[in-house]
Amino acid sequence: EAGVVQSPRYKIIEKKQPVAFWCNPISGHNTLYWYLQNLGQGPELLIRYENEEAVDDSQLPKDRFSAERLKGVDSTLKIQPAELGDSAVYLCASSFGFDTQYFGPGTRLTVL
């Protein structure tokens, strides 16, 4: 069974540019999470979806970050415009309800 797929794996952009990350969860998993992980830190939840509904986006900086999960499967996380402090690893995870979360390998973003 395929795990959580994320792309791209690495992205380097200049500040003020837009960037988007894509996540394909494990088939059948209705819950999808986006996390941000800074170097040497634990993951921090940005947004949690149950199917296509964002049920917890309290930690998402809405002035520059947006996310969507239109058909309740794939999801996209966007940053516009990116800032130097956005450099981090962006992790996607999925689960069936509140069961075990399975994480993707993450997208490492570097903002120059």
**For the purposes of burial, counting CB atoms within 10 Å of the CB of 91, is it exposed (0-12), middle (13-18) or buried (19 or more)?**
buried
**For the purposes of burial, counting CB atoms within 10 Å of the CB of 62, is it exposed (0-12), middle (13-18) or buried (19 or more)?**
exposed
- Residue number with CB closer to another protein (58 or 70): 58
In this structure, the chain runs to a length of 112
* Interface contacts to another protein, rule CB under 8 A: 4, 40-45, 56, 91, 93, 98, 100-106
Q: How far is the CB of 81 from another protein (least distance, A)?
A: 27
Q: How far is the CB of 43 from another protein (least distance, A)?
A: 5
Q: How far is the CB of 83 from another protein (least distance, A)?
A: 22
